[in-house]
Amino acid sequence: MNKINLDDVKKIYFVGIGGTSMSGLALMSQSNGFVVSGSDMRPCSYTDKLIKNGIEVIIGHKKENVPKDCDLVVYSAAIKLNNIEMVTALEYGIPIMERSYFLGKLTQFYPKTVAISGTHGKTTTSSLTALMLLNAGLDPSVSIGGTLDKIGGNSRKGDSEYFVVEACEFVDSFLHTNHFIGTILNIEEDHLDYFTGGINQITESFLKFAQILPEEGLLIANGDDARVIASILPNVKAQVTTFGLGESNDWQARNIAYDTLGKPTYEVYYKNTFYGTFSLNIPGMHNVMNSLSVIACGDFLGIQKEVIQNSFNIFYGAKRRFEFRGEVNGVKVFEDYAHHPTELRVTIEACKNYDHNKLWVVFQPHTYSRTFFLFDEFVKAVKDADEVIFNDIYSDREANDWNIYSEDLAEKVTQIYGVPAEVISQFDDIVDYLCRNVSEGDFVLVAGSQSINQVAYDLVEALKCCVHS
């Protein structure tokens, strides 16, 4: 089914159309002249945008939703083959294609596809790369896993050969794109429900991603990552450039300084020659690393240094990536998409660069398998918080076969690091608890990839009438 020629396709139906990536692909498909419709289990901001753009979105999965005259059904990895709409598509003889294969088909139309991969930092880096290409007048198409204000969402259709895509390793999705430039930001354990072979299987998957690149293409690789150096770089045919803090890297950041808001300014050296000074409006050492890869990409494409610097100056982050929700009577509230231990740890480190009194962390773990396999790492990730509130584990694709609970995390955090930690299941109760306990000068981080971000919004409103001094 995945051998279908898109030249023969006119009408596409998306099952799970409201997903971050799926909604972007639906919009891009419409922009490319396809007739698009689809369904999802619940409405959201993405389905609202699709409807506003004239795309039919049906809430709920039913047999009668699937158009009999459809040429192709695209489905997300979260959709099972026994889904009624999938069964109906096969019954009608309609070709089906998983989301990552469809994205790969689209990249065939763009000879200069830039694919951003890595366990962490993909959305921020792909957003910043897209903004840089836009500022350089290269008019890229874009498909990212978050919302970028400059393009009004998570996708855009450009009129050039450039296509910036966020390339996710889950279920080997990123092995279906045809990329000319590929970035590997980092390699760590994650998605262990799929990568049952652990870090070795994950590394092998990233190697295959790198080997897709043509000889005239470029691999931009984290030279501080031992797995990248040992397993990836010696085995690719494309040109290679490295970035990081170590002196052996082609692109290196030096003399990093932070202002009172945790925003870094740093000097960049290319092969030990001073290249320029750069500043970011997004905090943290991890974003210095992300930005180095963007600089390497821009330089390879011949983008002027001043354009890159300006792109950094006007970039305030993708939605839900260390996003400021508000400050009420001296209490700062931020939210972040962090759902892996490393992401959570570096985000907490970024929080500590801000002037603050007490650091509160509200965290909603995502999936039982990730919580189980990375349990010790999650416990360590929050050790620098002054108090932690865990929400219940959110899992939309698996049962709790590991008998793991947020209470286990809370108990271990307090036992090992002495950090007060508890579990509060209801969002309203989390907000009430914080309102009773925060004081002027405190900093609240609400972290997690799912619905927990609602707590940040609700907290800002509630704090207006409950802050203690």
Q: Domain check: are 267 and 336 in the same one?
A: no
CB 75 within 8 A of CB 98: yes
Q: Domain check: are 280 and 163 in the same one?
A: yes
Return the CATH number at 226.
Answer: 3.40.1190.10
Could you tell me if residue 138 is inside a domain?
A: yes
More confident of the two residues 147 and 83: 83
Place of tokens 């189980």: 372
pLDDT tens-digit map of 408-421: 999 999 999 999 99
Q: Domain check: are 288 and 169 in the same one?
A: yes
Query: With 50 as the cut, is the pLDDT of residue 469 above it?
Result: no
Minimal CA–CA distance to 225: which of 206, 244, 208, 251? 244
More confident of the two residues 239 and 159: 239
More confident of the two residues 194 and 320: 194
Could you tell me if residue 178 is inside a domain?
A: yes
Q: What is the pLDDT of residue 320?
A: 67
CB 27 within 8 A of CB 48: no
Q: Domain check: are 245 and 286 in the same one?
A: yes
Helices (H), 149-192: none
DSSP state of 378: H
Query: Is residue 343 helix, strand or coil?
Result: helix
Name which of 335-344, 422-431, 453-462 the model is least confident about. 335-344
The rounded Cα 3 to chain-centroid distance in angstroms is 29
User: What CA–CA distances, in Å, run from 408 to 351, 377, 392, 411?
Assistant: 25, 13, 11, 5
Distance in angstroms (rounded) separating the CA atoms of residues 143 and 146: 9
Q: Retrieve residue 423's tokens.
A: 């579990």
Query: Is residue 438 helix, strand or coil?
Result: coil
Place of tokens 């509060």: 424
CB 58 within 8 A of CB 4: no
Domain encompassing residue 14: 9-98
Q: Please tell me the total count of domains within the chain.
A: 3
Distance in angstroms (rounded) separating the CA atoms of residues 410 and 387: 10
**H helix or E strand, kind and range, residue 434:** helix 427-437
Place of tokens 């991969």: 117
Q: Retrieve residue 181's tokens.
A: 């430039």
pTM strictly above 0.85? no
Q: Are strands 264-270 and 359-363 parallel, antiparallel or unpaired?
A: unpaired
Give the neighbor-by-neighbor strand order of the sheet with 239-244. 153-156, 141-148, 162-166, 112-117, 181-184, 218-222, 239-244, 251-258, 264-270, 273-279
- Mean pLDDT across the chain: 90
- Single residue among 98, 128, 159 that ends a domain in this structure: 98
Q: What is the pLDDT of residue 24?
A: 85
Q: Domain check: are 169 and 246 in the same one?
A: yes
